Amino acid sequence: MSAVRVHNFTVSLDGFAAGPQQSFDDPLGIGGMRLHEWLFATGTFDSTDGASGLDDEYALQREIGVGATIMGRNMFGPIRGGWGAEQWAGWWGDDPPFHHPVFVLTHHAHAPIHMEGGTTFHFVTEGIQAALEQARAAAGDADVCIGGGVQTLLQYLRARLIDRVHLVIAPVLLGSGERLLGSDPAEPPLGYEVTEMVSSPTVTHVRLRRAT
Amino acid sequence: MSAVRVHNFTVSLDGFAAGPQQSFDDPLGIGGMRLHEWLFATGTFDSTDGASGLDDEYALQREIGVGATIMGRNMFGPIRGGWGAEQWAGWWGDDPPFHHPVFVLTHHAHAPIHMEGGTTFHFVTEGIQAALEQARAAAGDADVCIGGGVQTLLQYLRARLIDRVHLVIAPVLLGSGERLLGSDPAEPPLGYEVTEMVSSPTVTHVRLRRAT
C-alpha cells in the first residue's frame, strides 16, 4: 500500500507550528510566517530566485511521488462555520502548487472546486478515515501527503495513520502558539522514532518514522 | 561583569528536559537519561573512552572560564523538605566534576559541604538573586554557570539574568515531562534569540543569546 507522508512541516525551536492569535491577516499567527522563510528561499518553492542545496533537496521530496493531499479546513481558508456566499478557493491563487486532488476535512459539505494546473479541492465531511480512503483511491500507486495544519496532523498521528514525517526546526522562538509534539502531557507517546536529524545553515531537518 | 551561562542543557525533540515520573531511581524521569547519551560519549565527560569531535567541543565549553555553578535543590539530590539525618552530598561521588564552588538553591539551611577536587556545595536560602551574587563573588573574573534543573533555569531566564544558553536537542521523543521553552502559553516571550544551530551526527546544538 502507498505511504502516508508529511513534508516540510516546520516548528519553532520552542515547538510551535503556528504563532498566537491566528487571523485572516495572520493565518499562521503572530510571527508564524517566519517559520517558513527557509522554504520560500528554496528553488522548489521559488523556481526563479530560490536556491538549491540541502533545504531544497528536502523541500522537493514533498512533490515526488505524491498523488493526493489531505488538509484541514483551517489550512484551506479562514472561513469558519458554514461556507457562506463567498467563493473561497484556497490561499494559493488560480494555479495552486498541488497539481493533484486535495481533500479538505470539513463539517460542511461543499461541491468540488476545479482549479488550473490539475488541482481539484474535494470536501470530505465523513472524517479522517474517509478522507484517507478517498485520497488513496485518487493517488493510485502514489503516496498521500497530509498537508496540515496542526490539528489535522495530530488526528492522523494519534490514529497512527502516518508512516513518515519530515519535520523542520526553525531557529525562531515564538513563545506560544499551536504545538504539534507533546501538546498533551496526559497523552501516551505517539509511537514515532527519530531516524535522521541534520542541519543546514538555516534550519534543522528531522525525519520521524512510525515505530513498529 | 562576568557572564551567566548555561551549557549542555539537553531537551528531547518534543521539548522535554526530563521525562515523566522523576524519582530516586529515575532522577531524570522515565527515558530522561537517554537525553544525555551524547554527553556521556564525549571526551569531556569520559576522558578514557570518550570521543573528540563537534559534541566534545561544545561539551568542553562548560568547563572553560567557569568559576562557580548554581543549581536547584532537586538537581543536587532527591531529598525534599528538611534535610534529615542522612548526609547527602550530591549525585557525583567524592570528587564531583565541578572543581569550584557550587551554590544550591534551597528553602532549608545547610552547612557547606567540602568535597575532594575543589568542589564545595554552599546552600543558599535567600533566592536566585542572592545565589547569583554569591556565585559571582566566588567566581571572580570567571563566569557563572546555571547548571539546572528546569525550574531553576526558568527562574533565571524569566528574571533575564542569563546571558547565553547552549541548548542541545536529542533525537528522542519523551511524550511528556518537564518543559524548558514554551512551558506557559500565557507567558510573554522570554526575550532570547537563536544565534547558532548546528547538527552533529548525534544531536543538534543551539546557542541562544539574550536579546538586547
| Mean pLDDT (10-residue bins), chain B, 212 residues | 95 91 80 92 94 96 97 90 87 94 96 96 98 98 96 95 98 91 83 96 97 88
Q: Give buried/exposed letters for A73-90 (b at 16+ CB in 10 A, else e).
A: bbbbbeeeeebeeeeebb
Would you say B36 and B18 are in contact if contact means Cβ atoms under 8 Å apart?
Answer: no
- State CA B23 to chain mean position distance: 18
Q: Give the single-character DSSP code of A32.
A: G
Contact B172 A194 (CB under 8 A): yes
Question: What is residue A50's predicted lDDT score, i.e. its pLDDT?
Answer: 95
| CB neighbourhood size of A5 (10 A) | 18
Structural domain boundaries enclosing B160? 4-78+92-177+189-204
> In CATH, what number is assigned to the domain containing residue B143?
3.40.430.10
Q: How far is A122 from chain B (nearest CA, A)?
A: 33
Question: What is residue B147's predicted lDDT score, i.e. its pLDDT?
Answer: 96
Q: 0.90 cut: is pTM over it?
A: yes
Question: Residue A173 domain-assigned?
Answer: no
Question: Residue A176 domain-assigned?
Answer: no
Q: Give the single-character DSSP code of A189.
A: P
As a whole number, mean pLDDT of residues A77-84 equals 86
Would you say B74 and B68 are in contact if contact means Cβ atoms under 8 Å apart?
Answer: no
Alpha-carbon span B50 to B42, nearest angstrom: 4
Question: Residue A59 domain-assigned?
Answer: yes
Question: Residue A60 domain-assigned?
Answer: yes
Question: What is residue A141's predicted lDDT score, i.e. its pLDDT?
Answer: 96
Contact A199 B197 (CB under 8 A): yes
Q: Give the single-character DSSP code of A64.
A: T
Question: Residue A84 domain-assigned?
Answer: no
Substitution target from B9, B10, B14 for chain A, most A beta carbons within 10 A: B14
As a whole number, mean pLDDT of residues A88-101 equals 94
What's the number of domains chain A is made of? 1
Q: What is the ipTM of this complex?
A: 0.88
Question: What is residue A28's predicted lDDT score, i.e. its pLDDT?
Answer: 83
Edge-to-edge strands, sheet with B66-72: B113-114, B120-124, B101-105, B66-72, B143-148, B4-12, B164-170, B204-210, B192-199
Tell whether the model's pLDDT for residue A24 goes beyond 80: no
As a whole number, mean pLDDT of residues A124-140 equals 98
pLDDT, chain A, mean? 93
**Strands A120-124 and A113-114, bridge-based pairing:** antiparallel
**Strands B164-170 and B204-210, bridge-based pairing:** antiparallel
Tell whether the model's pLDDT for residue A73 goes beyond 80: yes
Substitution target from A9, A10, A14, A22 for chain B, most B beta carbons within 10 A: A14
Going B87 to B8 to B180 to A183, the CA torsion angle's sign is negative
Contact A203 B197 (CB under 8 A): yes
User: SS3 for B37?
Assistant: helix
Element (H, E) at A74: helix A73-76
Residues of B with CB under 8 A from a CB of A: 13-16, 20, 167, 169, 171-177, 179, 181-182, 185-190, 192-194, 197-199, 203-204, 206, 208
Q: Identify which of B175, B188, B204 has the shortest CB distance to residue A182.
A: B175
Q: Identify which of B16, B174, B197 has the shortest CB distance to residue A204.
A: B197
Place of cell 535522521: A196
Question: Residue B123 domain-assigned?
Answer: yes
Segments in chain B forming alpha helices (H): 37-40, 54-61, 73-76, 128-139, 150-158
User: SS3 for A13?
Assistant: coil
Alpha-carbon span A107 to B4, nearest angstrom: 52
Q: Identify which of B175, B186, B192 has the shortest CB distance to residue A188.
A: B175
Residues of A in Cβ contact (< 8 Å) with B34: none
- State CA B112 to chain mean position distance: 20
Question: Residue A52 domain-assigned?
Answer: yes
Question: What is residue A104's predicted lDDT score, i.e. its pLDDT?
Answer: 97
Tell whether the model's pLDDT for residue A185 goes beyond 80: no
Contact B175 A189 (CB under 8 A): yes
Question: Which tens digits make up the pLDDT trace of A5-16?
Answer: 999 999 999 999
Place of cell 515547538: A15
**What distances in angstroms separate CA A8 from CA A55, A60, A121, B8, one per listed residue?**
10, 9, 21, 28
Question: Residue B182 domain-assigned?
Answer: no
Question: What is residue A168's predicted lDDT score, i.e. its pLDDT?
Answer: 98
| A·B CB contacts under 8 A | 91
Question: What is residue A196's predicted lDDT score, i.e. its pLDDT?
Answer: 97
Q: Identify which of A182, A193, A197 has the shortest CB distance to residue B176.
A: A182
Contact A171 B197 (CB under 8 A): yes
